[in-house]
Amino acid sequence: MAHHDVRTERFAAHIAAHGLTRARVLEQVDESFGDPLLVVAAGSVIAGFGNDTSDLDLYVVVRDDVAGALPLMSYAKSARIDVIITGADQLMARHAELSAGVWPAPTVSPGDLVEQRKVFDTLSRFGLGLALDGTPRWLDWQRRLDGEITEWLRTWYAVEAVRMRSASRALSEHKPLAAALRAGEAVLAALDRHAVTKGERYFTWKWVGEKLRRLGDQDGLAAFELAMCPPLTADEAPAYLRRAETVLDTYLSDVDTSGWQLCLMPAAGTTWRPFGEGHLVSRWGLRAAAVSEGSPVSAPGSWTYHPGEPWHSDVVSLFAEDMLWLGIRSAP
């Protein structure tokens, strides 16, 4: 396949610039954790966004489990090589979980997104990288993984775009500048999804502008400029939000959210205490809001809405004060 040739060319050019050979690069893999089952060159160099000073990332699978994804750094001549070692069982469990499940997941919590992003990042780097060495079984696994990644990433970015768009809408009246920032993040996620669809699948948002430039996508670059240039004053925010909504309508028109559900829950450090005839909600003791006894947020819990459905005003108020976290899950 053509993209494999491109990866090989990028790898060869990078190591040649540092006077290295493929064998010398493979020597950087520490075998203290066992013989490598798979070695994949990945990162910005293989994706085509790196330069001579960029790190070369080597993702390695070993038989025994290690403490998470263990990073090791080495230097070969003028090159810096980062070796990330992952246990085979850990990696297969992550792959099986992602393959068997749905995204968004049926349940969601603040920590889930961080962990899920790590899974997407690790698996995508294995799948999109250049295999340098490996057993037949693991080389076959890497090729199959490559074929699965596109739809995973498209769905990830769709969920993030809708999540940030929902946050922006909720904040628009209370904190217009914060709403504009969330709207910009929604546009970036939507553009990353668009880039994945067009073949630019590297899972790192900071390169979205370069992806669009490489695609020659002038409309996408205009939307990227909008996302990266939020308003400086509250008076400018409404016009910015309208432009962002128009962009999002274009790039998310094919996203079916009918089976999704927004889920808000207390952010870390948020507490409820009796206060007169109601309750005082505070977070880390740094900010507080009073809610009445009959309010839906008068006690800790979770609050769910379908995307596009208006939120209760008290839910909006607590969210605007950064006391509620917003996630998206598959509707029961």
pLDDT digits (tens, 9 = 90+) for 160-174: 999 999 999 999 999
pLDDT above 70 (res 66) = no
Copy the structure tokens of residue 168: 């922006």
Please answer whether residues 185 and 227 qualify as being in contact, where contact means their C-beta atoms are separated by less than 8 angstroms. Answer: yes
4: confidence class by pLDDT, cuts 50, 70, 90: low
Query: How far apart (Å, rounded) are the C-alpha atoms in residues 240 and 230?
Result: 7
Q: Percent helix, strand, coil in the chain (nearest 5)?
A: 50, 20, 30
Query: Sign of dihedral through CA atoms 54, 208, 10, 72?
Result: positive
User: pTM to 2 decimals?
Assistant: 0.91
Region 244-254: mean pLDDT is 98
116: confidence class by pLDDT, cuts 50, 70, 90: confident
Residue 136 has what pLDDT? 97
Region 249-276: mean pLDDT is 95
Residue type, 254: D
Burial 147-171 (b: 16+ CB within 10 A, else e): eebbebbbbbbbbbbbbbbbbbbbb
Exposure of 198 by Cβ count < 10 A (0-12 exposed, 13-18 middle, 19+ buried)? middle
pLDDT tens digits for range 139-162: 999 999 999 999 999 999 999 999
Residue 109 has what pLDDT? 87
User: How much is the mean pLDDT over the chain?
Assistant: 91
Write out the E strands in 92-139.
130-134
pLDDT above 80 (res 301) = yes
Q: Which residues contact 4 (CB under 8 A, 6 or more apart)?
A: 130
User: Which residue, among 133, 157, 129, 81, has the nearest Cα to 328 in the 3D structure?
Assistant: 157
Lowest-confidence region among 99-108, 174-183, 303-312: 99-108
